[in-house]
Amino acid sequence: MSLVRRAGADTLGPVEVPTIARRSSWTGGAVQQRLRRLNLITTVPPLAVVGVLLLLLTARTWWHVVIQVIGLIAALATAERWTAGDYLRVARPSLAVAAAVWLAGALTDDPSAFFGVSVVGSFLIPPLPRRRFAALAGFTALVAVLGAANVLVHDDRVGPRLIQYAAIPAVAVLVSTGFMFVSQRFFDLIAELEQSREREAELAVTRERVRFAGDLHDIQGHTLHVVKLKVALAEKLLDSDLDRARAELAEVRSLVGDTIVQTKELAHAQRRLNLSAELENAKNLFEAAGIHVRVERESEVDARAGELLGQVLRETTTNILRHAQARQVRITLSRSGIEILNDGAAEDGEPSLGGLAMLRERLAEHGGELRVSRTDGRFLTAAAFPGQESR
């Protein structure tokens, strides 16, 4: 298990790095390795088998064996480097060697010696950025011309020899190159799929980080503002009501302790908000700030929506305490949502979501919606899950 330490780790202890975050550091290399293994398995062994079979079935002299082995080595070297994405520096000299092998085979009556040159050429042509068909036509003609050299040393059976040493190798080049066109497209699609999965993993990591940052903001930003209010209240009470000041400071200590626990639970993905607890907390905070609060329960909130609605209530409570000069707040709960209405809102400009923007996206992901409006100094924050109303 990978462990890291964050700020305050002496209190929070080790924090487990999410699996998906660990994955993002090695996904790219793993993808390349998997593609290389797949290419090796599907390309090199079949070529080796075909080359060995041709050698066993057609080689009649030791010279034919030497020729075909050299051509086969050139083909396999090119194929192996192609799977690694680094074949040009090998394929070009291999093509020269394979072409010489084919010429030698044509002159010594070895019709299978074209195997190496056809394979090497089929790897070189498909990746060309342009004029691939012109290159294919030229390469096919080259193979046919090299094979036709056989008639220079034999003047009998010219027609059958041209078919065997020129036409058949030319067709084999066309077939092998066409197969490589298809294979390259297939492997390109696999690579695109793997890259898409990698991007999805990176996006999931980003979303997780944003979610963690939002939750951390909800916990600590809210707590710090409440601590500020309670400490200010305790300072005012020091000279007039010492017992009340001590009580406020005790609440501050308790609140800080709860925040440490919640942060630890968040780090271990164990945190769950309780809407009822958040409602009681919001009520106490508003009353402590001298704001009259009224809670209306039209129905019990659905349990599946309660956690997100609790986050909305917590963020809205913080916003009201920080940005509004509120005197009254009304909180209305229904089965599918929550509405928080407060006065003392600024009159200028369009209402902005602020910290609620992230919660709007989170609600949308779960089929909910969040809206804000401002009219005559009253600010309304409403979150709802329309699909819950009919349940």
110-131 pLDDT, tens digit each: 888 888 888 888 888 887 778 8
Strand 292-297 and strand 328-333: the pairing is parallel
pLDDT band of 12, cuts 50, 70, 90:
very low
Average per-residue pLDDT for the chain: 77
Cα–Cα separations (whole angstroms), residue 225 to 19, 235, 320: 33, 16, 11
**Domains observed in the chain:** 15-202 (no CATH), 274-391 (3.30.565.10)
Question: Are the C-beta atoms of residues 51 and 82 closer than 8 Å to each other?
Answer: no
> What's the predicted TM-score (pTM) here?
0.45
End-to-end, the C-alpha distance of the chain in Å comes to 42
pLDDT for residue 331 is more than 90: yes
pLDDT for residue 228 is more than 90: no
Which residues contact residue 196 at a Cβ distance below 8 angstroms, ignoring those fewer than 6 apart?
none
Lowest mean pLDDT, pick from 22-36, 130-144, 240-254, 272-286 = 22-36
Q: Crossing angle of helices 222-237/242-267, nearest 10°?
A: 170
Question: Are the C-beta atoms of residues 330 and 341 closer than 8 Å to each other?
Answer: yes
Distance (Å, whole) CA 250 – CA 246? 6
Model pLDDT, residue 22: 37
Residue with tokens 């520096």: 89
Distance (Å, whole) CA 223 – CA 243? 23
Question: Are the C-beta atoms of residues 339 and 331 closer than 8 Å to each other?
Answer: yes
Model pLDDT, residue 23: 36
Lowest mean pLDDT, pick from 222-236, 258-272, 310-324 = 258-272
Question: Are the C-beta atoms of residues 322 and 300 closer than 8 Å to each other?
Answer: no
CA atoms within 13 A on the CB side of 32: 7
Q: Residues 161-175: pLDDT tens digits?
A: 888 888 988 898 888
More confident residue, 272 or 136: 136
